[in-house]
Amino acid sequence: MNKSILLIALLMSIASCSTTQSTLKNTDDNAPSLTLSKNNTFIITEFSKDKKYGYDKDYPINIFYNNTKNETINQDRFLNALAGPKGEKITFTKLESCCPFPTKRSEMGAGFLDVYELKWEGQKKPILLYLNIYEKGILMVPTGLSLRK
């Protein structure tokens, strides 16, 4: 009985997503294709000046994945390209999927953001980043982080 109620609630929330306006502010269908380095990480050349980029659910890091068979491979390619503020090696863990939004790039008509926790040695408090595999955008290093050498 409880599973049925949960399924109905989930379907209703997804159905309601398809009729609402997306709150995502930084999608860009004309963003250049993502390029890979020899280490199988993304080559990132820009640093975000917007403190919300990646840290706010309305400004997720858009790492469109429809050109791969593994939907988590682009998260790994992006996160493995990053380092802590002074070049520290980071570790990351996916905490949850959240924040449904309407998208034409999903069979359900809705997408979810993936929330990742990033940690590095000497850090006072882990940070959370929002990643979006459904939409495209300019890939940048979030403020407070650097590129892995």
- Mark the ranges of the chain whose per-residue pLDDT is less than 50: 1-12, 14-19
pTM: 0.81
**pLDDT tens readout for residues 67-96:** 556 677 889 999 999 999 999 999 999 999
Distance (Å, whole) CA 35 – CA 93: 23
State the DSSP string of 42-84. B---EE---TTTTTSTTS-EEB--TTSS-TTHHHHHHHTTEE-
Instruction: Provide the pLDDT for residue 18.
Output: 41
pLDDT score, position 96: 96
> Domain coordinates of the chain in residue numbers?
2-147
The dihedrals phi and psi of 79, each to the nearest 5 degrees, come to: -65, -35
